[in-house]
């Protein structure tokens, strides 16, 4: 089922959520932000992109961190070229219908389904490994967050959900919940499909492992030029001297280079590795390449962070567009489940 509302078309709906925890780093940019912004520019789809600030509460109970992260993430996406006129860009907490739908769907979600959720199972296994009670430290938010995720998707009849392989389960659960609801009340929800891009770039961090906040090996996306240079200089390298041939395929410097370079630039740098480029020189070239791509967005980012009212206005307009879908959709769902005016 695809509804027509102002600002929306009959195109397939692509839905992407960004949890508002932490500050974006180069790995987020290369693996998620850049491809999502490019995809949102297609006229063949309707893109919905939201700040998942209620999801953030599962990971963080620190109000200032969630608030600051929401600002930084909104500013990042806008600075990198997300066009709020072309996409529906909103904050989850500005669309109250999502939370109401979450409760309605909870009443149709089997507890056994939630027992199989990866995040919950991982927490239980960690507790058991530490000889703790199986439910130690596990909140109902962690246990039932796949239902909120299903509400995020089904509220908009999201048909295409771009995810990594480790997140397919969320979409399958949303589909399962939608099918149960539809079977009882009729076809109210589109059945979402996971869209997996196996070519998503996974960037290496300072120590050669996957760039991740949990490894503390990230290069922040919008730090100053000076700090960016300093971070790049911290990338771990081997002890080969200038003039000694180096293996590009075994180098974090080259792996990050490829994520920002053209095919021609990559081939040229690969040859320089064979010719024995000094690590200091290779890192200097990498800094210049990344800085060239990020210099203008960095300025725009600083402007947005300094003007939170402008971002608030963009998100308010996005929420209005989103609610053009969610208000009538929730009215339809309420009516279907029997919550309607007396005598109606």
Give me the residue label for tokens 């599962």.
Answer: 58
Cβ-Cβ contacts under 8 Å for 297 (sequence gap 6 or more): 79, 80, 81, 222
Element (H or E) spanning 161, and its range? strand 160-163
Q: Are residues 127 and 262 in the same domain?
A: no
What is the pLDDT at residue 171? Answer: 94
Q: Is residue 211 part of a domain?
A: no
Place of tokens 């922040």: 220
Band of the pLDDT at 23, cuts 50, 70, 90? confident
Q: Answer whether residue 73 shows pLDDT above 60.
A: yes
pLDDT digits (tens, 9 = 90+) for 311-331: 999 999 999 999 999 999 999
Question: Is pLDDT of 130 > 80?
Answer: yes
**Could you give the CA distance from residue 191 to residue 160 in angstroms, rounded to a whole number?**
9
Q: Is 276 left (phi over 0), alpha (psi -120 to 50) or beta?
A: left
pLDDT range class, residue 1, cuts 50, 70, 90 = very low
Residue 135 lies in a domain: yes
Q: Are residues 64 and 159 in the same domain?
A: yes
Answer with the residue of higher pLDDT: 13 or 328: 328
pTM of the model: 0.89
Instruction: Answer yes or no: is pLDDT of 6 > 60.
Output: no
For the chain, give the percent of residues with pLDDT over 90. 81
| 323 and 269 inside one domain | no
Give the whole-angstrom CA distance, residue 149 versus residue 84.
Answer: 22
Residues 37 and 136 in one domain: yes
Alpha carbon distance 95, 326 (integer Å): 8
Per the structure, the complete domain to which residue 251 belongs is given by 222-301
DSSP 125-156: HHHHHTT--TTTT--HHHHHHHHHHHHHHHTT
- pLDDT category of residue 262 using cuts at 50, 70 and 90: very high
Residue matched to tokens 């508002």:
20
Is the C-alpha dihedral spanning 99, 36, 26, 76 positive or negative? negative
Where helices occur in the chain by DSSP H, the ranges are: 26-28, 34-40, 53-59, 63-79, 97-106, 111-115, 118-129, 140-154, 168-185, 225-233, 252-260, 263-274, 279-305, 308-337
pLDDT category of residue 8 using cuts at 50, 70 and 90: low
User: Taking residues 269-283, what's their average pLDDT?
Assistant: 97
Model pLDDT, residue 12: 86
Binned at pLDDT 50, 70 and 90, residue 64 comes out as very high
CA angle at 26 for the pair 22 and 31, rounded to the nearest 5°: 95
pLDDT at 101: 98
CA angle 216, 166, 189 (to 5 degrees): 130
Let me know: does 315 contact 74? Beta carbons within 8 Å: yes
pLDDT reported for residue 279:
97
Give the residue-averaged pLDDT of 245-263.
95
The reply to whether 2 falls in a domain is no
Q: Tell me: do 184 and 332 sit in the same domain.
A: yes
- One domain, residues 244 and 160: no
111 within some domain: yes
Statement to judge: residues 163 and 100 lie in one domain: yes
| Sheet bearing 193-196, strands edge to edge | 88-91, 46-52, 13-19, 160-163, 193-196
- Looking at the structure, do residues 19 and 97 belong to the same domain, yes or no? yes
Q: Are residues 333 and 249 in the same domain?
A: no
Section 16-43 average pLDDT:
88
| Nearest of 90, 86, 93 to residue 8 by alpha carbon | 86
pLDDT, position 4: 36
The listed range with the strongest mean pLDDT (14-28, 37-51, 92-106, 186-200) is: 92-106
Q: Looking up tokens 């939370």, which residue turns up?
A: 99
Q: Do 292 and 318 sit in the same domain of this protein? A: no
Same domain, yes or no: 264 and 322: no
Residues 159 and 46: their CA atoms lie apart, in Å, by 10
* Residue 142, domain member (yes or no): yes
pLDDT in tens, 277-313: 999 999 999 999 999 999 999 999 999 999 999 999 9
Q: Number of structural domains, the chain?
A: 2
Query: Does residue 51 lie within any of the structural domains?
Result: yes
Decide: 243 and 280 in contact? Cβ < 8 Å. Answer: no
């Amino acid at each position: 089922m695809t509804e027509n509302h102002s600002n929306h078309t009959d195109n397939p709906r692509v839905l992407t959520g960004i949890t508002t925890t932490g500050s974006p780093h180069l790995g987020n940019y290369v693996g998620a932000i850049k491809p999502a912004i490019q995809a949102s520019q297609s006229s063949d789809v309707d893109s919905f992109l939201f700040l998942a600030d209620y999801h953030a509460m599962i990971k963080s109970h620190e109000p200032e961190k969630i608030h600051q992260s929401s600002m930084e993430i909104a500013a990042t996406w806008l600075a990198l070229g997300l066009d709020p006129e072309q996409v529906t860009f909103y904050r989850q907490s500005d669309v109250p219908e999502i939370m109401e739908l979450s409760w309605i769907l909870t009443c149709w979600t089997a507890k056994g389904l939630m027992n199989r959720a990866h995040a919950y199972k991982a927490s239980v296994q960690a507790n058991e490994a530490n000889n703790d009670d199986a439910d130690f430290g596990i909140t109902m938010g962690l246990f039932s967050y796949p239902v909120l995720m299903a509400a995020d998707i089904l509220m908009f009849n999201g048909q295409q959900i771009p995810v990594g392989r480790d997140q397919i389960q969320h979409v399958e659960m949303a589909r399962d919940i939608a099918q149960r609801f539809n079977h009882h009340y009729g076809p109210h929800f589109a059945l979402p499909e996971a869209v997996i891009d196996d070519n998503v770039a996974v960037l290496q961090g300072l120590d050669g492992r996957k760039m991740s906040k949990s490894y503390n090996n990230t290069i922040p996306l919008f730090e100053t030029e000076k700090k960016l240079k300093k971070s790049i200089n911290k990338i771990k390298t081997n002890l080969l001297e200038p003039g000694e041939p180096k293996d590009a395929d075994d180098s974090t410097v080259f792996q990050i280079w490829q994520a920002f370079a053209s095919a021609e630039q990559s081939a040229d740098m690969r040859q320089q590795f064979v010719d024995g480029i000094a690590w200091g020189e290779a890192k200097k070239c990498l800094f210049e390449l990344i800085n060239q791509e990020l210099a203008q967005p960095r300025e725009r980012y600083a402007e947005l962070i300094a003007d939170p009212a402008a971002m608030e206005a963009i998100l308010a307009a996005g929420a209005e567009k989103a609610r053009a879908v969610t208000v009538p959709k929730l009215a339809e769902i309420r009516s279907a489940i029997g919550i309607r005016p007396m005598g109606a």
